[in-house]
Chains A and B, each alone.
With several copies, the nearest count.
Chain A
Amino acid sequence: MQVPILKQGDFLIASIQAALTDADLRQLQDDLVHRVSIYRSLGVIVDVTALDVLDSFACRTLSGIAQMTRLRGAKTVVVGIQPDVAFTLVQMGLRLEGVATTLDLEEGLALFNRPTN
């Protein structure tokens, strides 16, 4: 199940469509990091609305994407985290390190268009 990555101007949008295996997640990370370099993107949005679980591997991968794209000058925003998923994540002791989050894609794009501090 490959994750489609859309290039929209200076941004990349990865829309996860269904549950992912660990291999799929690793692939997504590689793809995003690769494309951020090629396109010199300013931002990456990962839409996780379709995911009903963010376990430790998924968190680590999302943080990894944020970290590696930051080295290339891009910021990562994760959009569409289900509230139940957010609750569970914190209860487990997990954190989305270095990752900005918004409710949906629209807010995610708005975040990039706001002056950053």
Chain B
Amino acid sequence: MAAEARHLETSVPILADIDIVTARQQGRALAERVGFIGSDLTVIATVISELGRNMLTYAEKGVIRLRPHYFGGRRGIMVVAEDEGPGIVDVELALQDAYSTSKSLGLGLPGTRRLMDEFDIVSVLGKGTKVTVTKWVS
């Protein structure tokens, strides 16, 4: 069993595509510390990758915060991806499979939602976008 790892919160600025690699490696490492194993580690790294790329593509830059999360006897990891980009015009649409404004696959957000246990998105036009996702150790 992993000891509690509350103090291990980290923050990765996403300014270039190498930062996405850094963020997902840190996410995986933190997830291991929290007690995740196997394909959950891959899931967490993949989600960080998708959120990080969206920032670079649509908002030029942003920050990914990785946080051990303990609640109601459960432990997990929370990933917060926050940028000050243009925001999303239609969030409902952005969450649909295959919707993309960049000739991309349009599976980043809906895929992330499927992979994680909790998913929240707040986007304000002209202000920015904040995606908060959590996965619990099962």
Contact status A55-B50, CB under 8 Å = yes
Chain B residues with CB under 8 Å of A15's CB are none
Contact status B33-A56, CB under 8 Å = no
Q: How many Å from the CB of B20 to the closest CB on chain A?
A: 7
Contact status A56-B39, CB under 8 Å = no
* Shortest Cβ distance from A58 into B: residue: B49
Q: How many A-B residue pairs have CB under 8 A?
A: 83
- Is B13 in the interface zone, CB < 8 Å from A? no
Q: Which of A60, A87, A93 contacts B39 (CB 8 A)?
A: A87
Contact status A92-B53, CB under 8 Å = no
* Shortest Cβ distance from B2 into A: residue: A117
Given A88-B46, A117-B35: A56 and B20 within 8 A (CB)? no
- Is B67 in the interface zone, CB < 8 Å from A? no
- Is B114 in the interface zone, CB < 8 Å from A? yes
Contact status A21-B18, CB under 8 Å = yes
- Is B11 in the interface zone, CB < 8 Å from A? no
Chain B residues with CB under 8 Å of A101's CB are 38-39
Q: What are 6 A-B pairs at a CB distance below 8 A?
A: A21-B21, A52-B42, A55-B49, A60-B104, A91-B43, A100-B38
Q: Which B residues contact A (CB, under 8 angstroms)?
A: 1-2, 17-18, 20-21, 24-25, 28, 32-33, 35, 37-39, 41-43, 45-46, 49-50, 53, 97, 104-105, 107-108, 110-112, 114-115
